């Protein structure tokens, strides 16, 4: 494993844990050169998931893209990186549990919305405003009312 700080290839594992889903191993590592610590995640490589976009374009599932979207929605909210990683793991597990390896992007959008709704309501509204393409204040207000009614 290469240190992300100094690029040294000699590191040691100082802590190892299985995640809640038992499909990811989390390792806390320390660089033997600069002595900085960092975390790595190890997961089994599985069959590729293909995302069917609205434009009928196909692209491979990208965990990092999903994670970036969640970080953007949760920006300046009391949500930490570990919570986002858990959500990404849960969404990926649900996608891999589907019968098909080709999944419409709308399925991912709905999964993200469901997870964010439980995690942080403000992040949910942020994501919904982009995902549902609110074009005016009325559509935004309608989503807020639905959230307040159900929450």
Name the residue ranges covered by the structural domains of the chain.
1-44, 49-150
Name the nearest CA neighbour of 93 among 82, 106, 80, 103.
103
Rounded distance, CA 121 to CA 126, Å?
9
First to last CA, the chain: 45
Indicate whether 143 pLDDT > 80: no
pLDDT at res. 21? 64
The strand pairing partners of 15, in sequence order, are 28
Q: Which of 124, 21, 4 is nearest to 69 (CA)?
A: 124
Nearest-angstrom CA–CA distance, 133 and 110: 14
3-state secondary structure of 42: strand
pLDDT confidence band for 88 (50 / 70 / 90): very high
Confidence of residue 130 (pLDDT cuts 50, 70, 90): confident
More confident residue, 30 or 129: 30
pLDDT single digits (tens) 96-126: 888 888 999 999 999 999 999 999 999 988 8
Residue 93 CB neighbour total at 10 angstroms: 12
pLDDT level of residue 144 (50, 70, 90 thresholds): confident
Q: Is residue 54 pLDDT above 70, yes or no? A: yes
Summary mean pLDDT of the chain: 89
For residue 146, pLDDT over 70 is answered with: yes
> What does pTM read for this prediction?
0.65
Q: How far apart are alpha carbons 84 and 81 in whole angstroms? A: 5
Q: Using pLDDT thresholds of 50, 70 and 90, give the confidence band for residue 22.
A: low
Q: What is the mean pLDDT of residues 46-62?
A: 90
């Amino acid at each position: 494993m290469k240190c992300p700080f100094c690029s040294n290839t000699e590191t040691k594992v100082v802590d190892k844990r299985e995640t809640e889903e038992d499909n990811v191993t989390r390792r806390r590592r320390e660089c033997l050169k600069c002595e900085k610590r960092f975390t790595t995640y190890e997961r089994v490589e599985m069959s590729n998931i293909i995302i069917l976009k609205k434009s009928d374009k196909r692209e491979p599932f990208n965990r990092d893209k999903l994670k970036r979207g969640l970080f953007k929605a949760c920006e300046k909210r009391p949500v930490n990186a570990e919570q986002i990683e858990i959500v990404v793991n849960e969404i990926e597990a649900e996608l891999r549990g589907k019968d098909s390896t080709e999944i419409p992007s709308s399925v991912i959008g709905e999964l993200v919305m469901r997870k964010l709704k439980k995690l942080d309501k403000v992040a949910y509204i942020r994501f919904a405003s982009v995902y549902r393409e609110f074009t005016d204040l009325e559509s935004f207000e309608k989503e807020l009312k639905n959230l307040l009614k159900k929450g």
